[in-house]
């Protein structure tokens, strides 16, 4: 597939809108889970070489907590919820009432649940937007280097494309200083297929 096609501004706008809808659903779920107001920013969409995706999102060696859901169907790709280490401690504190080591099974299990709810509602919002069936794979969770956790997502979408369209939305819970991102990367070929079907 030519890169002229995936850098088409209409396609990038469509992905931005899609990320907005998906993240809106996801933060509603998070907000009701923790009983706090969760804000989201306008999604940023990048067309980026697979070599540089980690650098665009942050320091590849920084410790983060990440939850991942791969999805398949008319749209293929993966979505990842990422919190930096300070925000993850804040989230553990908010939800569990006490801080703990992020690799503690209790903390991991909480992150898995938060990720499952957020990324799961993100993916189901994509499916209802397109009126199509999109299957979500069982979620994964890890506390590790940003670059290392992103490998999972990039391996999912990187077989056929050297350049990827990356949608990143920042979510924040201001009064407890928690900040995270939802990163969505559809495979460029499936994204183009589905937008063509919709006449975009």
**C-alpha distances in angstroms, 177 versus 37, 89, 139, 196?**
12, 10, 26, 40
Q: Does 5 bind other proteins (CB under 8 A)?
A: no
Kindly tell me which residue out of 13, 99, 101, 162 binds other proteins, with binding defined by CB under 8 A. Answer: 162
- Non-local (6+) Cβ contacts of 84 within 8 A are 58, 62, 63, 64, 179, 180
- Non-local (6+) Cβ contacts of 175 within 8 A are 36, 37
> Which of 120, 173 has the CB closer to other proteins?
120
Q: Does 137 bind other proteins (CB under 8 A)?
A: yes
Question: Which region, judged by CB under 8 A, interacts with other proteins, from 6-14, 23-31, 139-147, 173-181?
Answer: 139-147
Kindly tell me which residue out of 38, 53, 92, 185 binds other proteins, with binding defined by CB under 8 A. Answer: 53
Q: How many CB atoms lie under 10 A from the CB of residue 103?
A: 11
Q: Whole-number minimum distance, CB 47 to other proteins, in Å?
A: 14
Q: Does 61 bind other proteins (CB under 8 A)?
A: yes
Q: Does 54 bind other proteins (CB under 8 A)?
A: yes
Kindly tell me which residue out of 34, 40, 50, 95 binds other proteins, with binding defined by CB under 8 A. Answer: 50
Question: Which region, judged by CB under 8 A, interacts with other proteins, from 7-15, 38-46, 51-59, 192-200?
Answer: 51-59
> Which of 52, 197 has the CB closer to other proteins?
52
Size of interface with other proteins, in residues (CB under 8 A): 35
Q: Whole-number minimum distance, CB 41 to other proteins, in Å?
A: 24
Rg over alpha carbons for the chain, rounded to the nearest Å, is 16
Q: Does 152 bind other proteins (CB under 8 A)?
A: yes
Residues lying near other proteins in the complex (CB under 8 A) are found at 49-55, 60-61, 63, 68, 70, 137-142, 144-152, 154-160, 162
């Amino acid at each position: 597939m030519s890169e002229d096609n995936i850098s088409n501004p209409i396609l990038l706008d469509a992905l931005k809108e899609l990320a907005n809808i998906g993240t809106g659903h996801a933060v509603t779920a998070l907000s009701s889970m923790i009983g706090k107001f969760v804000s989201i920013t306008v999604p940023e969409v990048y067309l980026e070489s697979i070599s540089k995706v980690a650098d665009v999102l942050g320091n590849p060696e920084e410790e983060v907590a990440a939850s991942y859901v791969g999805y398949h169907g008319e749209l293929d790709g993966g979505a990842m919820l990422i919190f930096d280490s300070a925000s993850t401690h804040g989230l553990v504190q908010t939800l569990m009432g006490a801080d703990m080591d992020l690799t503690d099974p209790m903390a991991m299990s909480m992150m898995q649940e938060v990720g499952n709810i957020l990324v799961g509602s993100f993916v189901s919002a994509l499916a209802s937007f397109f009126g199509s069936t999109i299957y979500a794979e069982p979620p994964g969770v890890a506390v590790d280097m940003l670059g290392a956790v992103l490998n999972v997502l990039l391996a999912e979408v990187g077989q056929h494309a050297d350049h990827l369209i990356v949608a990143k939305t920042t979510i924040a819970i201001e009064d407890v200083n928690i900040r995270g991102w939802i990163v969505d990367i559809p495979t460029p070929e499936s994204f183009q297929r589905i937008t063509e079907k919709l006449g975009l």
